Structure 1
């Protein structure tokens, strides 16, 4: 691999890390998860049931659009908008990063079995004038991009589903979010305990359980041991807003999400091949030339 190619992987890799992590949370929220004022000492059945209903409804989502902002470990501040669909599986994120190792605007698209990362003119400098880098979802050796399959499958609804398992989930109070009347819930989740519970055999595993397991694995990879979660639930047990905070190996994680369109069609197109660098195709071409 040439020096230019290695540089491209490092630059776009840093951008992708911010996008993937930002895609799992959203706008800064009032009411800290650790603030227990006005809350009961132990979870009550009514509170747990209300949070579980919201989590169950979220697990049934096939598609979601949301605004995201916050702080990502090692990447500084991020903000933007994202949309994803599970069937068909597509993702599109448009993010802005600042105050970290890489700054500027960038995009991530997941289409079928490929991830496309675009960094605008910043990426074009190291991609020979092209604006997108294509990576195979199953590629385990592309400069540290192994595990893309696991990360791209995660979604905010699955993260919010961890709150019912908190030992101190509680009702914070009634709040208005962007004109919507909501009930604010909060709690702290022990990641190791959540991972242990996720491994218990429960017969046939649901898609929601699998998505929750993948979220827990990501937290473990980040070195997170404890999560502070806030959930704002609106009419019809729909999640309106979600916030997560934690201390990761590379620094603080504080990301929130404002849920927007739910279960509406999401269409994502792959960037033009003429504007895309495909390292896998180049390697295959080199292999053919070398016999």
Structure 2
């Protein structure tokens, strides 16, 4: 069941990088106007307090995924509904995060493992039973940051304006570029609303996936708002290709905890299994 939350945990992942290494070996071409436009969109996105987005594509080792995520940054809350098909892990996976408490819901197998209950509850902070301890993937998922992921495009040496396109009824300008992860690890980030720490977390996530090069696409609306974002790369587990459509920007996000009667606490689950690991 918990493998499901990893699906979007690579929510900042991307498509086959077959030809991307060759491109990264070419001399960098700096295009001032597209870079400036991308940076404006990144700065605006970094200041958002809440958003919702639809995500779909392919994740290495998991098959095809699609879903909807609503995120509040202040206070922190996440409501996620993901579906996976065509891979080893398939079915619907639900995640709710309220502050530092996470709730995970799955299908019939998960319900059977939870003695008829539909949700598993645990703390994101802390070690041992009842804490996120061994669930590093869950923490990564909670820390997903689409704004930070999109910001990496501005650090590409070959950002280009692709053209004008209508996305979800909005007229947008399409920008694209390729980013070498190793260069991002060594490069000092420029100051801005996003902050170096947020960028570094995004870069580290790519590095952990074994990504060498990212192909990033950004569709920006007339108000400098990011309407659509696509990321593609090759990881140690195969190709990834995910697309995100943003909507309900800065609208209230309310996440309710599942009924206590339908929830199994992780510490209680461990106790019932004699400390066995999930």
Asked whether the two chains share a fold, i.e. TM above 0.5, the reply is yes
Consecutive unaligned residues of structure 2, counting only runs of 5 or more, are: none
Please say if 1:277 is aligned against 2:267.
Answer: no
The alpha-carbon distance between structure 1 residues 206 and 157, as it changes in their structure 2 partners (threshold 3 A), is closer
1:71-110 maps to which residues of 2 (within 5 A)?
71-110=58-97
- Equivalence for 1:197: 187
Q: Summarize deviations over 1:193-234 as a string: whole Å, max 9, x none.
A: 112225x6x79x965332222111111111111110000001
Deviation, 1:137, is: 0.8
Match of 1:219 among 206, 209, 212: 206
Deviation, 1:143, is: 7.5
- Equivalence for 1:158: 148
How many residues get paired? Answer: 263
1:52-131 maps to which residues of 2 (within 5 A)?
52-131=39-118
- Equivalence for 2:233: 246
Secondary structure in 2 matching 1:237: coil
Contact 1:66 1:258 (8 Å CA) reproduced? yes
Consecutive aligned runs of 4 or more in structure 1 exceeding 6 Å deviation: 284-287
- Equivalence for 1:15: 4
Q: Distance in 1 between matches of 2:138 and 2:90?
A: 22
Secondary structure in 2 matching 1:236: coil
TM-score (structure 1 length as normaliser): 0.82
Contact 1:172 1:185 (8 Å CA) reproduced? yes
Secondary structure in 1 matching 2:125: coil
- Equivalence for 1:184: 174
- For the aligned residue pairs, the C-alpha RMSD in angstroms reads 2.8
Consecutive unaligned residues of structure 1, counting only runs of 5 or more, are: 1-11
TM-score (structure 2 length as normaliser): 0.85
Higher relative contact order (CA 8 A, sep 6+): 2
